[in-house]
Amino acid sequence: MKFNSFVMRVILIASIVLSIILSWKIWTNNTHYERRTDSQTTTKAVSRKSDRKISDIFLPTQILWRTNQQSQLVYNSKESLVPKLKEAMKLTKSARFKASKLSEANYYQAITTDDTLTLLYPDNISYAVFKKVFDDSNNQLSRNTTFNRIKITMGNKPQLTLMNDKSHMTYQTTMRQFSEAQVKRILDHSDVHLNVKESLLNHKPFIYVAADQSLLPYSYLVNQQPENYYITTLLDQKNTDNIDAKEQGDNVIYTDGANNDLYKRLTINHKTGEIAFVKYEDTKSPTGLTKSFETSFAALLKTGNSLSGMRFYSYDEDTNSTTYRTYVEGAPTLVF
C-alpha cells in the first residue's frame, strides 16, 4: 500500500510539473497564435472580392428567336446561352452604322421580321458599354448612343441592328464575320422555346407569353447576406456607434455621418428584401450614361457581395442611379 501511495504521489507531482511547463510555453508563444489568427482572417477577406468585369454584368438578359411568324423566348436551364452567342457575334469587322428614325408602325414591323435573333436588355445601355461586352473594336457611334435591343437578321448578308424601343431609333450595319450555322447550333441546344408575342403598350413593345404553355418547375439557391453585412461594409466599419437607425413602414433606414459631404444612407425593405444605398461625396456627379454605368459598377464591386447572376436592370435619368438585379433564366429574382 505504501509503495502504491508513493507511485501515485510521483505521478501527481509529474503531472503538475508538466502542466506548468505547457502553460509557460503557451503564454510565451502567444504571438505565434495571434499571427495565425490574423492570417486566417486576411484569407477570408480576400476570398470575398469579386473578379467580375463590367462586360459580365452588362450582358443581355433575354433571347428572342423569330421564324415562321412566331417569336420564341429561348433559354437553356443548364447553362446561359448569352455568353455563347456573344462569342459567335464578335464584331471585329463590320460596315458603318446607318442611323434611322422609324415610325411606330415601321418599328413594330422591324422587330417582328422573320429569321431574326434578338438579344434584349431590360433598359437602354450605351454604345461604349456594348463595345466592351461584345469586343467591338469599331468606333462608329457616339459612346453614349443608347439602345436596348440587338437584332441580327439572318441571310447571305447578315444585318446587325441596334434598336431603341423608347425613341424608335435604329442603327444598322452589315456583319462581315458571322456564322449563322454556329448560332443555330447554339439555339438547337436550348431546352426551352416559349412562344411569345410582342405588342405595343404606350408606344413601346412588351413581351406577352402565349396561353396554354407549361414549364418544368425549378428550384434555385439564392445567395443572401444578413443586414449587418451591408451595414458594416457600406457604412462606418470602424465605429458602428456613429450609425443611426429608424423605421418607416417596412423600411429600416441607417444613416452615417452628419456632414453632407460624407453622408451615407442605407435603406433595407424587409418586405421585398431590396436594399438602396446612397452616398453623398464632395465630388461631381458622373457626366454621360457610360460614365454613370462605370461609376455605379465600381460601387457595386466595393460591396464585396457575390455578383454571380447579377445583371444590369435599369437606369433612372432623374436621379442618375443604376439598378442591378440577380437574374435566373432571363428574369429578375424577387423576394416574397
E-assigned strand segments in the chain: 62-67, 70-75, 98-101, 116-126, 146-153, 159-163, 169-174, 192-201, 204-209, 243-248, 251-256, 264-269, 275-279, 310-316, 321-328, 331-332
Q: How far is 250 from 271, CA to CA, in rounded Å?
A: 6
Q: How far is 126 from 291, CA to CA, in rounded Å?
A: 10
Q: How far is 104 from 108, CA to CA, in rounded Å?
A: 6
Give the phi and the psi of residue 318 in degrees, each rounded to 5: -65, -40
Helix-, strand-, coil-residue percentages of the chain, each rounded to 5: 30, 30, 35
The answer to whether residues 294 and 103 touch, using CB atoms and an 8 Å cutoff, is: no
Q: How much is the pLDDT for 274?
A: 81
Q: How far is 141 from 98, CA to CA, in rounded Å?
A: 10
Q: How much is the pLDDT for 115?
A: 94
The answer to whether residues 134 and 88 touch, using CB atoms and an 8 Å cutoff, is: no
Q: Which amino acid is at 251?
A: N
Q: How much is the pLDDT for 218?
A: 64
Cβ atoms within 10 Å, residue 251? 15
Strand-pairing partners, residue 34, are none
The answer to whether residues 205 and 108 touch, using CB atoms and an 8 Å cutoff, is: yes
309 DSSP assignment: T
Q: What is the mean pLDDT of each run of 10 residues along the chain (336 residues)?
A: 64 74 59 36 40 88 93 85 83 75 96 95 95 80 94 90 96 85 87 89 89 68 72 70 84 76 80 79 75 90 80 90 82 61
Q: How far is 41 from 35, CA to CA, in rounded Å?
A: 10
The answer to whether residues 290 and 129 touch, using CB atoms and an 8 Å cutoff, is: yes
The answer to whether residues 272 and 334 touch, using CB atoms and an 8 Å cutoff, is: yes
Q: How much is the pLDDT for 58?
A: 95
Give the phi and the psi of residue 40 in degrees, each rounded to 5: -65, -40
Q: How far is 193 from 288, CA to CA, in rounded Å?
A: 37
Q: How far is 284 from 282, CA to CA, in rounded Å?
A: 7
Compute the chain's Rg from CA coordinates.
29
- Continuous segment of H or E residues that includes residue 6: helix 2-28
